[in-house]
Structure 1
Amino acid sequence: MLNFDQEALDAALYEIADKIQLSATKYDLAKQRYETIAEHLNEPESDVARFSPHIYPQGSFRIQTAISNSDEKDEFDIDLILEMNIDTDNDPNVVLDSVCRSLDRGRYKGKVEKKRRCVQVQYSDMHLDVTPAVLLNKDLPSRPSQIFDCHPQREDHVQAAPEGFALWFDEKVLPSQILEARRLAAKASVDPVPDQKQLDEKPPKLVALQLIKRWRDMQDSRRKGTIEKIPSILLSKLSADYLDGGDRSLYSVLSHMTNHLIGIMSRDLGVVLNPSYEPDELTDRWPGERRASAALPPNQEVFLEDLKLLKSNLEEMAGASARRHRELMASMFGERSSASGTALYEGSNFARQQGFASDKALVERLVAGGRAFLTSLSLGTSYEKKPKWPMIPSCFVQVTATIHPEKHGQQLRQIDNGGAVGIGEHICFKALGRPVRPGGPAFPKGSTIHWRVTNTGKVAARKRQLRGDFSDETGRSLWEHAAYEGIHWVQAFVVDARGNCIGQSERFCIVVS
């Protein structure tokens, strides 16, 4: 049995998932943009206006698994179906060229690019891929369609049912109450528009798939696209087949889903069909042909090795030090995207990193051992913000603290570094200096005192209150409220009139219980 804090791992993974989500604001913006594209295609100047163009979402945007495709900035790919009343035997190049001309004018001039199966409309923060299609049967909820493919080595005309797949995926993944709400909403609309779900409303299975997609994209980026990555719809189908048994731990679901995919990728995939519409083959483009002497196609072999590495990283995470945990998270999900998640894990696990089973055990030992025991701890965290000023030490500063029943209330007592504070009490920290000459000022004229406040422990992590940043309040005193069990600290920084940090106190710790 591994000795690790699953709650802390779950919190860290959810924080990372939150960073790669399509936010509610971006979702509304994407919806507004594809509705505007629909209006644009219906204008008289459009080549396709006479074909009654109609747009609706498909793919990751439709099934709520869209993620940012870059760790450096938040960029999203939004997949759309463009239904038109045209003949199914049209030449794919003629169809795509016509859509391209219809879009590449006015507000979209210079933002349009023709692809193999779609026309891409490019924004600075997202790409909208518009795939022309012909609806084959309007009476089926799956909306089977024919799409057009310009790839010289593939069929010109392909049948697909992205909405049918989305309905199947929803049934496999979403909780029953969400499905029922969606069915009621569908009765009032002719379009399959997804209802945007916040992260805390998504089941762990859905979030785990998003994290696996991020890992896939990180590996693809490292290889610079030299190996064709598994398509999202195929990955979604295989992941949805995993039965989570009602498991609510994201770490556990992610680990088991990875094992499930390893088992599938270790053997010949064969032909995988869209469960809602069998003419729609999900393996028509991936993994490709295998070499004569190879057990698996090259694309599949690479993805299998990626999944094995992901499994190894997840297992190592369970018992990793804070530093190693940061390295693993950054490798798996990107440094920028994982920063706040690793902070949550580190802050939540602070007591364990010091060799204690819980925050309570660390607090009790600190209360008993006082200042002498405090010096044996490894203080400092990776989520503490570094000072932004040039460091030119020339000034002494130390911190003292007094306890009060309320802010600016009567002083109850003074505490030393490492002293105990009850939850609900207020602390007034003060920065004391030392005059350079007798009778002189404690700090140089024109200098300012800045305060850095850092919390640790499970409760602070759960409340997203680990902080580690510099307070907006400046001056020789700082008021704080003891709200979370654990060990927390402040530091005072003296910044002179030229913007140099000329003094820095040691960490003044309080023990809240």
Structure 2
Amino acid sequence: MNTFPTSGLPLSEPIDFLLADVAIRVQLSATNHKLAVARYEAVNKWIERPGSPLEGCVDVFYAQGSMAIGATIASKLVHDEFDIDLIAQLNLPADTPPHRMLDLLEAAIRGEPGSRYHEMTVRCTRCIQIRYADGMHLDVTPMVRLAHLPERCGFIFHARHRHEDRDDRRIVANPWGFAQWFMEHTPAELAFANVFEARAADYEATLFVAKAESEPVPDLVAPHRKSMALIALQLLKRWRNVQYDQREGRCPPSVVLAKFVADNANCTRTLSEELLHQAKQLKLAFARAQLTRELIVVSNPACQSDVFTDRWPEGLEAQGAFLSDLMVLVRKLEQLTGDCDLATMQQILSDLFGERPALEAIRAFNRRAGLAIVQGESRHVPGSGRFDIAAGGSAAAATAITTGAAAASRVTPKHTYFGGPAPR
């Protein structure tokens, strides 16, 4: 194994440091999290403004999906674009035609010509999207509560056109319930969460160095306590996006990956073990489905009528393509966690997660490892990814590398769980 001698620290192997740093570089930073919260609070107030078509109609407005569980990563491979998914629970009749429900929300957000969101608003098949100049998107999905179903469970609405169509439908969904279930099944390991947050904060602080003389550095409080399962989910989403970046058609929905990760969490000791374990479980599930020539079905444990696989996979070919990807992923992760030198690690990490975050993670690791070597606390074993830590200095050296230059956020293709732009 690529390993430091056992130190009792939550990150004890070079590959664990590197995977953590890749995840930090592709996730939503604490700064962007604050910005997203400020923006969706502003949108909530705007939708309910006097004269809005939805004035007095919003029962509750909340984050859903990756934003709700702390798993948001950038929606593009090259540019820092983040999709923030929101629910607007509306006090409207449940039998409102789907296209009409989207009409009302679109009108409430778009507003009059010259108003704040008028030129930023895009209608999609299940949501209204607000596109900011910095690349952040807010996807607002209208929902009507169904009182006979579990808490916050209701209809969301699917309509491709601005007029009634045979494809229009109401879909039972409970994203709030799923978020609660996911967090219950992936509790943060305190030691890991503390180390991961320290690395993220260190990296993000470096982003403000150039501005430090003229602007105060913001308070960098991590928005979520991270579990290894949650970081594995972010890495799996990033890997999926790399695989599907140039492909036609839909990619596996983030919520499907999240369901599998939560089902199989809390079984490992290290981040690399967790990621490999989760990849193997996904491979096993999809291999079984493909063997029986059945499409995999994944439902919301908080509401069985909420089917996450309603639009993907479209057929056995799409399912088989994902299974082939998973087989390669498992093979490469097994290589990463074996006897693997840093150059090979960098190549595999680039293949799996993209060149930029992999290269930045390797550079950050080398800086911290080099410092530990200079201080006489660590010694690199040539030709391998192993570092031996000098006697008496193991805790200090490991801590220096663990809490040093880390990685904050960037990176991935937009998931298609709530649909693309609708034809005008």
Same-fold call, TM cutoff 0.5: yes
Q: CA deviation at 1:324?
A: 2.2
Q: How does 1:211-250 map to 2 (within 5 A)?
A: 211-223=235-247, 226-245=248-267, 247-250=268-271
Deviation at 1:350, TM superposition (A): 6.7
215 and 308 in structure 1: CA distance in 2 versus 1, 3 angstrom threshold: same
Equivalent residues in 2 for 1:36-435, closer than 5 Å: 36-52=42-58, 54-105=60-111, 106-123=115-132, 124-137=134-147, 140=150, 142-151=151-160, 154=167, 156-175=169-188, 198=222, 201-223=225-247, 226-245=248-267, 247-268=268-289, 269-288=295-314, 290=315, 297-318=316-337, 319-346=339-366, 348=369, 351-353=380-382, 358-359=387-388
Q: TM-score, normalised by structure 2?
A: 0.74
Aligned partner of residue 80 in structure 1, secondary structure: strand
For residue 251 of structure 1, what is the amino acid of its counterpart? S
When residues 352 and 345 of structure 1 are mapped into structure 2, their CA distance, relative to the original with a 3 A threshold, is farther
Per-residue deviation, 1:129? 0.4
> Are the equivalent residues in 1 in contact too, given 2:47–2:55 (CA < 8 A)?
yes
Moved more, 270-279 or 164-173: 270-279
CA–CA distance in 2 between the matches of 1:94 and 1:125? 28
Q: Identify if the C-alpha distance between structure 1 residues 86 and 258 changes in structure 2 by more than 3 Å, giving closer, same or farther.
A: same
- Equivalent residue letter for 1:92: P
Q: Is the 8 A contact 2:27 2:72 kept in 1?
A: yes
Instruction: Give the equivalent residue in structure 2 for 1:470.
Output: none
Deviation for aligned residue 1:230: 0.9
* Cα distance, 1:330 vs structure 2: 1.6
Whole-Å separation in 2 of the counterparts to 1:28 and 1:298: 41
- 1:390 maps to what in 2? none
Deviation at 1:461, TM superposition (A): 3.1
- State the distance in 2 between where 1:145 and 1:463 align: 44
CA shift at 1:360, angstroms? 5.4
Deviates more, 1:233-242 or 1:251-260: 233-242
Corresponding residue SS for 1:44? coil
When residues 200 and 42 of structure 1 are mapped into structure 2, their CA distance, relative to the original with a 3 A threshold, is closer
Structure 2: distance between partners of 1:239 and 1:57: 20
Q: CA deviation at 1:328?
A: 1.4
Deviation at 1:270, TM superposition (A): 4.2
Consecutive unaligned residues in structure 2, runs of 5 or more = 5-11, 192-219, 290-294, 370-377, 407-424
* Conservation of the 8 A alpha-carbon contact between 2:126 and 2:159: yes
CA-to-partner distance for each residue in 1:441-480, whole Å, 9 max, x for gaps?
A: xxxxxxxxxxxxxxxx8665335269xxxxxxxxxxxxxx
Conservation of the 8 A alpha-carbon contact between 2:185 and 2:262: yes
Give me the whole-angstrom Cα distance separating, in 2, the residues matched to 1:82 and 1:167: 18
Shift in alpha-carbon separation, 1:138–1:78, aligned structure 2, 3 A: farther
8 Å Cα contact 1:9/1:345 also seen in 2: no
CA apart distance, 1:199: 8.7
SS in 2 for 1:284: coil
Query: Does the CA contact (< 8 Å) of 1:41 and 1:53 recur in 2?
Result: no
Q: Distance in 2 between matches of 1:22 and 1:213?
A: 13
Whether contact under 8 Å (1:42, 1:53) holds in the other structure is: no
Report the alpha carbon displacement of residue 217 of structure 1 after superposing the two structures with TM.
0.8
Three-state SS of the structure 1 residue aligned to 2:245 is helix
Shift of 1:352: 1.9
Asked whether the 8 Å contact 2:69–2:179 carries over to 1, the reply is yes
Give the counterpart letter for 2:36 in structure 1.
A
Q: SS of 1:266's equivalent?
A: helix
* Compared CA separation, residues 316 and 227, structure 1 to 2 (3 A): farther
More strand by share: 1
Residue type of the alignment partner of 1:284: D
SS at match of 1:98: helix
Q: Is the 8 A contact 1:71 1:337 kept in 2?
A: no
How much does 1:237 deviate? 0.7
Taking every aligned residue pair, what percent have the same amino acid on both sides?
Answer: 33
- CA distance 1:324–1:200, shift in 2 (3 Å): farther
Corresponding residue for residue 464 of structure 1: 404
Does the 8 Å CA contact 1:148/1:158 hold for their aligned counterparts?
A: yes
Query: Using a 3 Å threshold, how does the CA distance of structure 1 residues 357 and 148 change in structure 2: closer, same or farther?
Result: closer
Number of residue-to-residue matches in the alignment: 344
Distance apart, 1:198 and its partner CA? 3.3
**One-letter amino acid of the counterpart of residue 353, structure 1:** P
Instruction: For residue 278 of structure 1, give the secondary structure of its aligned residue in structure 2.
Output: strand
Give the letter aligned to residue 235 of structure 1.
L
Q: Which has the higher contact order (CA 8 A, sep 6+)?
A: 2
Q: Please state how far the C-alpha of 1:72 moved relative to its aligned partner.
A: 2.0
Aligned residues of 2:189 and 2:226 also touching (Cα < 8 A):
no
Q: Tell me how far 1:50 sits from its aligned partner.
A: 4.4
Pairwise CA distance, 1:209: 0.7
Letter of the 2:50 counterpart? P
| 1:37 shift after superposition | 0.6
TM-fit CA distance, 1:358: 4.4
The CA distance in 2 between the partners of 1:153 and 1:234, in whole Å, is 27
* C-alpha distance in structure 2 between counterparts of 1:131 and 1:356, whole Å: 46
* Letter paired with 2:380: A
- Residue equivalent to 1:27: 33
The one-letter code sitting in structure 1 at the alignment partner of 2:91 is N
Give 1:167 deviation, angstroms.
1.2
Give secondary structure in 2 for the equivalent of 1:108: coil
